[in-house]
Amino acid sequence: MTDLRALDLNLLVILQHLLQERSISAVARRLDLSQPAVSNALRRLRTAFGDELFVRTGQGMQPTPRAERMAGPVSEALDLLSHMVDESDEAFDPAHSTRRFRIAMTDVGEIHFMPSLMEACARVAPEVRIDSLRLQGADLQRELDAGRVDLAVGAFAELAGGVVQRMLFRQGYATLFRAGHPSARAGMSLKAFRAERHLVVSRAAPYGQVNQSLERAGVRLEAHFSVPHFAAVPYIVSTTDLLATVPQKLAASAAPHFGLQILTPPIRVPALQTNLYWHRRFQRDGGNQWLRGLIVETFADRV
């Protein structure tokens, strides 16, 4: 295709949805069209671009390399056009909005961020809703690129092209133990710390440096109990004599609710930086700007 005038821009909307759904029937339902209408649009797209664009496989309609290369530019072009014709994006009104935002975060992030965000929404944006979801690496990059995730909060160093970030805070680690523990105490030596039984979070990414530090200090991880995520840690520590070393903000949040004590672990663990991430395509989106501002105001360290 050499002449943009030959292309119906409505076809790009269908192309964008096909890239997201990988299914003609799903796109038809989403756009309230018939399946033959979507199939005809795909035929016209194939003719216009001189490429199959999508090939039917056992896993659904899979995009060709040409279609995958078009995903970002098409999404960005449609977003710019949407901003041009819809002034409401720049005049986001949280008090009356019914928008649903999606934020990628870890289980630790949910514990720290979600209660305050829910409280803030109830106060200033009663009809706004927030969904948290677990995504990392290439999956998170793809969802941010496509606009299916509005923001990410955490330590996602692997995010790259098109993603903007702002630091929220830095934190260290703390060790939790139950009140009445027979031997754990603040100021305990490294030797005593090593001799205790520990609860290890085996899927600690992006907090994996704590496990590396434990091993360097002589705590053999395979000799201790483990859970895949942080969410269960306070429940287990409160009813056992296990020690668990977790991010400081999680420790501070969990300790009063579970009757736990906190000590500074006698090991060196690099501080963890938590950032706010969004795609530059939504830099000027009114709703995205509002939610970013709310998160910064509520959680960012004051400097």
CATH code for position 56: 1.10.10.10
Report if pTM > 0.85: no
- Do both 180 and 266 map to the same domain? yes
Average pLDDT score, the chain: 88
How many other CB atoms are there within 10 angstroms of residue 73's CB atom? 10
Please tell me the predicted confidence (pLDDT) of residue 85: 59
How many other CB atoms are there within 10 angstroms of residue 301's CB atom? 10
Residue 204 backbone phi and psi in degrees, to 5: -85, 0
Q: Which domain holds residue 241?
A: 173-270
CB 140 within 8 A of CB 162: no
* C-alpha torsion sign, points 130, 135, 140, 146: negative
pLDDT-above-90 percentage for the chain: 58
- Do both 182 and 266 map to the same domain? yes
Q: What is the pLDDT of residues 197-223, one digit of tens each?
A: 999 998 666 567 888 889 999 998 888
- Do both 146 and 184 map to the same domain? no
Please tell me the predicted confidence (pLDDT) of residue 204: 61
- Tracing tokens 């078009």 back to the chain, one arrives at 70
- Do both 230 and 153 map to the same domain? no
* pLDDT above 80: residue 134: yes
Please tell me the predicted confidence (pLDDT) of residue 38: 92
Residue of 174, 186, 173, 176 lying closest to 234 (CA atoms): 176
Look at the chain and report how many structural domains it folds into. Answer: 3
Please tell me the predicted confidence (pLDDT) of residue 302: 67
Question: Tell me, what amino acid is at 195?
Answer: A
- Do both 151 and 282 map to the same domain? yes
| End-to-end Cα spacing for the chain | 53
Q: What is the pLDDT of residues 137-174, one digit of tens each?
A: 889 998 998 889 999 999 888 888 789 999 999 999 99
Residue of 264, 138, 269, 249 lying closest to 208 (CA atoms): 269
* Residue 136: band (very low, low, confident or very high) from pLDDT cuts 50, 70, 90: confident
∠ Cα 143 147 152 (to 5°): 60
CA 160/CA 284 separation, integer angstroms? 19
Helix, strand, or coil here: 101?
Answer: strand
Mean pLDDT of 266-288: 91
Residue 68 falls within a domain, yes or no? Answer: yes
Please tell me the predicted confidence (pLDDT) of residue 30: 81
